[in-house]
Chain A
Amino acid sequence: MRALIRKSKRELLLIAVIAMLFVVFHLISGSFLSYVTLANVLSGYAIYGIMAIGMMLIISTGNIDVSVGAQLAVVSMSVSALVDGGVIDSVPAAVLFSAAIGAALGLANGLLVSALKLPAIIVTLGTMNIMRGILLLVAGSSWNTGLPMWFKSIARTVPFDLRLKMTVYIWLILCAAAYFHMYRTVSGRKILSVGANPEGARRIGYSPGASYVLTFVITGVTCGIGGLLYSSNVGMAQPIAGLGYEMTLIAAVVIGGTSFTGGKISILGTFLGVVLLSVIERGMVISKIPVYWQELVKGAVIIIAISLSALSAVAPGKGRGRRVSGEVSRG
């Protein structure tokens, strides 16, 4: 039991911080500690939560994807166009198309990064602008409203009378799926191995490149689902959807304890990271703190999280007799 607690230090810390924030915002605004708020916290950031699952895998293997917002927008626009055109006429079809389009985008990113050995941040910077540019070209800045009811209800239904939108359930299901994939399938274990020790993985016959591609494809799929839910929820599709999402996702993942150098992931941590950011936003809204403070808070939170992760990694190596370069010297 004690071992479990020791392993989950970060997650427990996050729960404590979230609880503390609830109290703080309640004191400031007078009405934060309630089930309704909790339900809104979850529903409000469910789409981020879904997309963060993909980002978590990408960061754990040492890459970054800044084009996630653009992917969301592409799927959102294409799917709503297809719905309008009658090509998609049912929920399963919508889900299928969203996932497929997202996967294709992710595949493009993944291949450019791994097969062509180009640095992820720059590649995705490029693809992000290609996607946004094409979107704006194709759609102008017109917004597509007038989506059918059945489509809009995908995200908006509130089953089981728990005040939680469908998006939250999808989020939880995908978390469970991620857990299953990472801990119960070989490809998931490979991703973890590659993240921890790419050279070692290569020596035993794994292909780090293939794992990288997979992480980008998974991210594409989560962005696809996110795009579907986004347009369903908002009731329209906009080319500027998803702007700035990458910062929130990276923040959530890093806060949640996923390391960018060790193949360590934390599905629960990422979940809590998303919840934390949601609580911060919602708390600031309810406390009537102006919306432009949020970017600052988000940035500060990322920096603090990154610094804490770095400090805990640097500490053991510091001090006297520190090993020269991490390699075994020939003495």
Chain B
Amino acid sequence: MDRLKRFARSDVAAMVLLAALILGVFGALNPVFLRPVNLVQYVNNGVVLGFITIALSTSVIAGHFDYSVGAMTGFGTVFMALLLRGGMHVALALPLCLLSLLLFGALNGVIVGFLRVPGMLATLGTSSLIYGISLVLTQGQAIGANSEAYKVFGKSDLGTLPFGIVLLAVVFAASAVFLSRTRTGRRWYLIGTSPESARFAGISYRKETLLVHVFSACMCFFGALILGSRMASGRADIAEGYVLQAVTAAVFGGISIKGGSGTIAGALLGVLTFTLLTSGFTMIGLSQFYKQVTTGALLVLVLLVRNRHAIFPPRK
């Protein structure tokens, strides 16, 4: 009973409520919204954001902030497109692309973990660098990636569901287990809660920071895979704007900016809610710009509500 009560008051419950509300409101405005075919489509649209949010959330849980997730995803699509255009087989291009992103993740990890540069600043820098590399490689253009084998990922179904959703589900399950039931995952929570106590508990800040950023890069690889194959192209700025959305979704989903708390499940719930919201906006014909304003406003609003205790201390 206690546990149920605690859940009911939690942020996750609030998000479930919000999602239900959104479905209700838009469903009422236009019942077409609730057709299963469409719902699957909305979720499918949110898959890339889902991967990027897992990446960002994990780095935040560990007390850091990987701002370069958008740039890394963009680079992933670019690199894949280039390799494919050069005639390389998909089966070889994929691991190479993954490796390149992992290296970028390692770069982030070294700058933040070994040089002790604050995560936000460091990843702002690497974001620019990676974006720049993508621009140079593409010469500012979009690169077509017309390999049929590649397009499979983004455009075909596995059973009844689009491949993207299946992949996200698998990666989500694996990440959730990883974060909550492996020693490394636990250590990330600990570092995010109190780096000093973690030190006295024998946890290596450098090693864990490196690992967390590499993990984030790996998630971006999945995002790039789905996005690039869906768009059948690679563009440096393909993932622009995803960072803000990922942050918003993560905050929705109960990831604490201070680090050390929150779950992947919560984060993906945030992504779902967010995706339903934007799909709803599209359905009723609201322009792109309303989306931007609402996203920004919602982020600030959720932050205010979450931190209300710090702002308005409860009367003793």
Contacts and interface: CB of A to CB of B under 8 A. Distances in A.
Interface of A: 64, 112, 115-119, 121-123, 125-134, 136-137, 247, 250-251, 254, 260, 290-300, 302-303, 306-307, 310-311, 313-314, 325
B54 interface: no
Which 4 residue pairs across A and B have the least CB separation, nearest first? A296-B132, A299-B129, A133-B293, A299-B128
Nearest to A128: B296
B133 A296 contact: yes
A130 B135 contact: no
Given A260-B118, A300-B129, 6 more contacts: A64-B120, A121-B120, A125-B296, A260-B121, A290-B139, A302-B128
A127 B132 contact: no
13 contacts: A116-B311, A123-B303, A125-B243, A125-B244, A126-B296, A127-B300, A130-B297, A132-B292, A133-B290, A133-B292, A306-B121, A307-B111, A313-B116
Interface in B102-152: 111, 115-118, 120-122, 124-133, 135-136, 138-140
Nearest to B287: A137
B274 to A, nearest CB: 13
Interface of B: 65, 67, 111, 115-118, 120-122, 124-133, 135-136, 138-140, 196, 199, 243-244, 247-248, 251, 257, 287-297, 299-300, 303-304, 307, 310-311
B282 to A, nearest CB: 15
A295 B307 contact: no
A112 B300 contact: yes
A198 to B, nearest CB: 15
A123 B247 CA distance: 11
Contacts of A251: 125, 128
A119 B257 contact: yes
Contacts of B67: 121
Contacts of B294: 133
A154 B257 CA distance: 44
Contacts of A311: 115
Contacts of B140: 290-292
B115 to A, nearest CB: 4
B116 A134 contact: no
A128 B247 CA distance: 14
Contact of A133 (B116, B120, B139, B291): B291
A122 B247 contact: yes
Contacts, number: 149
B57 to A, nearest CB: 13
B73 to A, nearest CB: 16
Nearest to A243: B240
B131 A137 contact: no
A299 B131 contact: yes
A325 B132 contact: no
Given A126-B300, A129-B244, A132-B292, A247 B124 contact: yes
Contacts of A314: 115-116
A293 B117 contact: no
Nearest to B302: A126
B126 A129 contact: no
Contacts of A115: 311
A310 B248 CA distance: 30
Contact of B299 (A125, A132, A299, A313): A125
B198 to A, nearest CB: 12
Contact of B129 (A125, A136, A293, A302): A302
Contacts of B124: 64, 247, 250, 302
A125 B92 CA distance: 38
A118 B257 CA distance: 9
A314 B140 CA distance: 38
Contacts of A112: 300
Contacts of A313: 116
Contacts of B295: 129, 133
A162 to B, nearest CB: 33
B196 A295 contact: no
B247 A130 contact: no
Nearest to A117: B310
Nearest to A137: B289
Nearest to B110: A307
